[in-house]
């Protein structure tokens, strides 16, 4: 799914209106109907307060107010004088409001409002066209609303948020529990600085013409369930006469003294993600726990008791190599990694301490084999690429890094994003805050390595792996309704996640 800019969305609106054909007021009615349908399906609330501006976003809000009223809901409207002019469609929906709906005008002279605690607050003040920070009474009004305990819903985009431009850090933005956005998520909803204001995002189809969207240039994409399923199923079903050699031999280089758990988590994930064979290169201090916890794995032992040493093992038989989980930063381990980069014949997944070693030895980045996969969290990426002032600069750094070193860079976090050497960015919609526990990255590294070993391209292995990892995390959280889940809990759900991707 493409993530279009605000200007492209406006152009797609115009093309839909001129070619469908449908009037702009009817398109607005469709959007309002979809919002009300979502509200009725997901909320049992009877009381709603609509905050409507004077542009087309306000027109959406006024139409929602009318439709909710027609469903027997108690509705109140605050019509906010956020512009000296009223859009034509907003004016039409203002005239369509039933007289039974109380409506209060708010402006700089009168911005007092009272919203009952039981009322759902719906924000339809500013739309995707906003390009400057809110100031004065409008900013004060949003701050006051944000401090209220009410459930809050933003229509299309939270007021005060830019759609696709860098946002000043001090910006005042409506803090929504849910954002009901039209056609697709907007870029700033998926980035850390602004995304927290969007809450949970529901994408509503309002019938914009997709054939025109296909022609629009775009580098940003949101992974969809259908796309990930289609990629995963390219290598399904498994042949009847398949054997363990059919699905690749993975090597995981993991663990050191006190960090053997990282190798166990990565190994279990690699096996559950479908690798046919798994070998672990580990220091002897981790030997007994691994033989007990992961009896399915074969072991290669480092000649150093507590860390990985460069012992010149032959890695030519492996189809994919994952390196870095818990390996530490010992000087001899660093020599091992440099040697691996220089001699690697199989696709590489570099995680955790492998990335920290590269950050300490930036000249070695030129040794990265083409199409290597790097999986940093934000701090690890900062060590590799330098700091940034805002999320858009971080995006630019991630894209430039992937292109410069002809590699794939997975920037982990909410809406984890994947940069390709071709300049594309894929955002992942699965996953949840309960997954913010140590060891989740080790599981993900094992999954991606297994998919590479089975023959998926680096791009598809990354997209499938990140999506399945987040989906398993969602299943684990939903089953337990837990504030936090462990990697072990996620591993229990991983086969179910892959089973869901196996079904069209």
DSSP string covering 453-470, please?
A: HTT--HHHHHHHHHHHHH
Q: Binding site: what residues are annotated?
A: 56-60, 123, 127-133, 156, 159, 262, 326, 377, 412-416, 441-442
Q: Binding site for AMP: what residues are annotated?
A: 412-416, 441
- pLDDT for 1: 86
Check the CA dihedral 342-345-348-353 and report its sign: negative
Helix, strand or coil, per DSSP, at residue 73:
coil
Distance CA 99, CA 46 (A): 19
- pLDDT for 470: 98
Least confident window among 227-231, 312-316, 326-330, 474-478: 312-316
- pLDDT for 312: 86
- pLDDT for 249: 98
Q: Is the pLDDT score of 262 beyond 90?
A: yes
Residues 497/431, Cβ–Cβ less than 8 Å: no
- pLDDT for 502: 98
Q: Which two tokens stand for residue 13?
A: 């609106």
Topology of the domain covering 6-218? Rossmann fold (3.40.50)
Distance CA 398, CA 411 (A): 8
Q: Tell me which CATH homologous superfamily contains domain 225-502.
A: Ribokinase (3.40.1190.20)
Output the CA–CA distances (angstroms, integers) from residue 138 to 170, 198, 201, in the order listed. Answer: 15, 19, 24
Whose CA is closest to 61, among 75, 73, 72, 71?
75
Binned at pLDDT 50, 70 and 90, residue 210 comes out as confident
Q: Is the pLDDT score of 336 beyond 90?
A: yes
pLDDT per residue as tens digits for the range 38-70: 999 999 999 999 999 999 999 999 999 999 999
Binned at pLDDT 50, 70 and 90, residue 346 comes out as very high
User: 221 has which bridge partners?
Assistant: 2, 426
Q: Binding site for K(+): what residues are annotated?
A: 57, 123, 159
Helix, strand or coil, per DSSP, at residue 351:
coil
CB within 8 Å of 264: residues ≥ 6 apart:
289, 290, 293, 294
14 C-beta neighbours (distance < 10 Å), count: 12
Q: Is the pLDDT score of 204 beyond 90?
A: yes
Q: Which two tokens stand for residue 435?
A: 């997954």
Cβ-based burial of 372 (10 A; exposed 0-12, middle 13-18, buried ≥19)? buried
Binned at pLDDT 50, 70 and 90, residue 112 comes out as confident
Q: Binding site for (6S)-NADPHX: what residues are annotated?
A: 56-60, 127-133, 156, 262, 326, 377, 442
Distance CA 62, CA 342 (A): 63
Proportion of the chain in helix, strand, coil states, percent, rounded to 5: 45, 15, 40
Distance CA 414, CA 429 (A): 8
Binned at pLDDT 50, 70 and 90, residue 457 comes out as very high
Helix, strand or coil, per DSSP, at residue 99:
coil
- pLDDT for 111: 87
Residues 3/221, Cβ–Cβ less than 8 Å: yes
pLDDT per residue as tens digits for the range 159-168: 999 999 999 9
Q: Is the pLDDT score of 379 beyond 90?
A: yes
Residues 3/220, Cβ–Cβ less than 8 Å: yes
Helix (H) or strand (E) segment spanning residue 19: helix 6-19
Beta strands in 379-487 (DSSP E): 408-411, 417-419, 425-427
Domain residue spans in the chain? 6-218, 225-502
pLDDT per residue as tens digits for the range 390-434: 999 999 999 999 999 999 999 999 999 999 999 999 999 999 999
């Amino acid at each position: 799914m493409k993530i279009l800019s605000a200007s492209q969305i406006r152009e797609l609106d115009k093309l839909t209106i001129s070619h469908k054909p449908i009037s702009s007021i009817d398109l607005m009615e469709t959007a309002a109907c979809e919002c009300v349908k979502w509200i009725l399906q997901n909320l049992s609330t009877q009381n709603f307060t609509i905050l409507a501006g004077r542009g087309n976003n306000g027109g959406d809000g006024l139409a929602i107010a009318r439709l909710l009223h027609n469903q027997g809901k108690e509705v109140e409207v605050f019509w906010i004088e956020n512009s000296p002019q009223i859009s034509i469609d907003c004016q039409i929906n203002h005239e369509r409001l039933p007289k039974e709906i109380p409506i209060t005008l708010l402006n700089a002279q009168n911005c007092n409002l009272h919203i009952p605690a039981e009322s759902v607050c719906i924000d339809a003040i500013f739309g995707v066209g906003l390009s400057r920070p809110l100031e004065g009474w409008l900013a004060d009004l949003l701050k006051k609303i944000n401090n209220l305990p009410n459930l809050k819903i933003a229509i299309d985009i939270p007021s005060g948020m830019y759609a696709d431009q860098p946002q000043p850090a001090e910006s005042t933005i409506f803090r929504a529990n849910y954002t009901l956005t039209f056609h697709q998520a907007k870029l700033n909803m998926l980035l850390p600085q602004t995304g927290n204001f969007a809450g949970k995002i529901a994408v509503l189809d309002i019938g914009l013409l997709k054939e025109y969207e296909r022609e629009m240039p775009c580098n940003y994409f949101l992974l969809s369930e259908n796309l990930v399923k289609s990629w995963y199923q390219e290598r399904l079903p498994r042949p009847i006469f398949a054997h363990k050699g059919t699905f690749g031999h993975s090597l995981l280089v993991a663990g050191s003294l006190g960090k053997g758990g990282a190798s166990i988590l990565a190994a279990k994930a690699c096996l559950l993600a479908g690798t046919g064979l798994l070998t672990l290169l580990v220091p002897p201090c981790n030997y007994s726990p691994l033989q007990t916890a992961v009896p399915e794995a074969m072991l290669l032992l480092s000649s150093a008791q507590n860390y990985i040493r460069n012992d010149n093992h032959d890695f030519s038989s492996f189809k994919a190599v994952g390196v870095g989980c818990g390996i530490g930063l010992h000087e001899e381990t660093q020599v091992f990694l440099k040697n691996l980069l220089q001699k690697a014949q199989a696709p590489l997944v570099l995680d955790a301490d492998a990335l920290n070693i590269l950050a300490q030895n930036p000249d070695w980045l030129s040794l990265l084999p083409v199409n290597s996969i790097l999986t940093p969290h934000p701090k690890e990426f900062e060590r590799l690429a330098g700091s940034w002032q805002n999320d858009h600069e971080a995006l630019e750094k991630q894209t430039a890094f992937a292109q410069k070193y002809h590699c794939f860079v997975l920037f982990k976090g909410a809406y984890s994003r994947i940069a390709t050497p071709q300049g594309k960015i894929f955002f992942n919609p699965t996953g949840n805050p309960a997954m913010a526990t140590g060891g989740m990255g080790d599981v993900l590294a094992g999954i991606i390595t297994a998919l590479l070993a089975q023959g998926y391209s680096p791009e598809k292995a990354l997209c499938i792996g990140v999506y399945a990892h987040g989906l398993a995390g969602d299943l684990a959280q939903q089953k337990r309704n837990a504030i936090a889940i462990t990697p072990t809990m996620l591993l229990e759900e991983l086969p179910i996640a892959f089973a869901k991707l196996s079904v069209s």
